[in-house]
Amino acid sequence: MEAFDPAELPELLKLYYRRLFPYAQYYRWLNYGGVVKNYFQHREFSFTLKDDIYIRYQSFNNQSDLEKEMQKMNPYKIDIGAVYSHRPNQHNTVKLGAFQAQEKELVFDIDMTDYDDVRRCCSSADICSKCWTLMTMAIHIIDRALKEDFGFKHRLWVYSGRRGVHCWVCDESVRKLSSAVRSGIVEYLSVVKGGQDVKKKVHLSEKIHPFVRKSINIIKKYFEDYALVDQDILENKESWDKILALVPETMHDELQQSFQKHHNSLQRWEHLKKAASRCQNNSKNDKCGPWLEWEIMLQYCFPRLDINVSKGINHLLKSPFSVHPKTGRISVPIDLQKVDQFDPFTVPTISSICHELDVISTKEEEKENGAESDIKHRTRDYKKTSLAPFVKVFEQFLENLDKSRKGELLKKSDLQKDF
């Protein structure tokens, strides 16, 4: 893959916004079928330009307006905000207090840096295939709950371009939710609680909520390979002391001694599970039981959500198909049928797709005569690059939104006929 050089970003962005950005699909998404008048026109976009120049409250009349502005500004980053009561680019002309955020998708932001206390391979902005499993588990756990526990149909998962994932829940009813209801949903989805100074961040009791139980079942599929092999969470005294801090003190001495005798994390984990059930049988201790191992599994593997991103209606979130200025990777949609196969390191960079386009354009110029030239430019250029499969995932998501919308309209017209 073409190596990404940040110095080339301005030139690459010009080409990307001119020939590769999927404007038609993007507009089709945020216009939501044009059902609500001015829905797209009242949407806030914010652009981050070169040298961290930040412009909020951008808004556009239509697709062509958006295209022109993006090609003129060549933003390093695009964020999407709320749908407001007035056009955001006219917010200064509206009398004080009248300009209000009214609707937005329910969004989730999961960032690998929030797991730094439990991953041993990387820290801060770095990621590798050993810790990416955390994001795989997070998508499975949160997506299952959004779909089955809440009944939300339209969920778009997107790679952030560097070290995390975002989810956009786009159902019509969800976009209207108040901040309080959004907070309630995030609260339901949060199990790991407490800041850096809190050692034990998960507390279960005998009555385990079905959401937690189902989440544990997902984690179980990955736990051995991820936590015991790749992360080796019981490798040495330093690492197992962190885990002993999560179990009752009455078990510490016995575990310290037996951990010394065992040779690897797998053996030590098996021993810990046996010790937990022995402790439960012997003492009828309410701190012991199978939930002891589950608390550890949850603390090490359960998704960590940024609550503020989800609860604020006017909170901005990085747009799909934006480019990450540090890695050059495109924020691409993730196919929910292939979450386990998704590899952030094979996601196209802006250099790789611009290079693919150059190679193709050169070949086509060699072959071309005037008559074919028109046809060539009619096929969207992104289709000739490795961005194509990701746009296809996005289009499938849009298809489902359209079907739902048509279904709702039919229902409404049927109801009206009944009167």
- For residue 377, the SS3 value is helix
> Which structure tokens are listed for 360?
């193709």
Q: How many residues does the chain have?
A: 419
Cβ-Cβ contacts under 8 Å for 411 (sequence gap 6 or more)? none
Q: Is 8 a catalytic residue?
A: no
Cβ-Cβ contacts under 8 Å for 100 (sequence gap 6 or more)? 84, 85
Helix (H) or strand (E) holding 164: strand 164-169
d(CA 241, CA 265): 13
Asked if residues 162 and 329 have their Cβ atoms less than 8 Å apart, the reply is yes
8-state DSSP, 275: H
Asked if residues 273 and 301 have their Cβ atoms less than 8 Å apart, the reply is no
d(CA 394, CA 170): 13
Look at residues 276, 248, 412, 397 and name the one whose alpha carbon lies nearest to residue 332.
397
Q: For 351-376, give the DSSP string.
A: HHHHHHHHHHHHHHHHH--HHHHHHH
Which of 67, 103, 109, 306 is catalytic? The answer is: 109
Residue 161 region by backbone torsions, left for phi larger than 0, else alpha for psi between -120 and 50, else beta: left
Which of 44, 67, 105, 143 is catalytic? The answer is: 44
Q: Is 109 a catalytic residue?
A: yes
Which of 67, 103, 105, 111 is catalytic? The answer is: 111
31-to-36, 57, 112, 171, 398 alpha-carbon distances in Å: 8, 17, 32, 13, 11
> Which structure tokens are listed for 403?
């079907």
User: Whose structure tokens read 């996005």?
Assistant: 394
Q: Identity (one letter) of the amino acid at 170?
A: C
Q: Is 230 a catalytic residue?
A: no
Asked if residues 62 and 40 have their Cβ atoms less than 8 Å apart, the reply is yes
Q: For 214-261, give the DSSP string.
A: HHHHHHHHHHIIIIIIIS-TTSSHHHHHHHHTTS-GGGHHHHHHHHHH
> Which structure tokens are listed for 114?
């929030």
- Catalytic residue annotation: 44, 109, 111
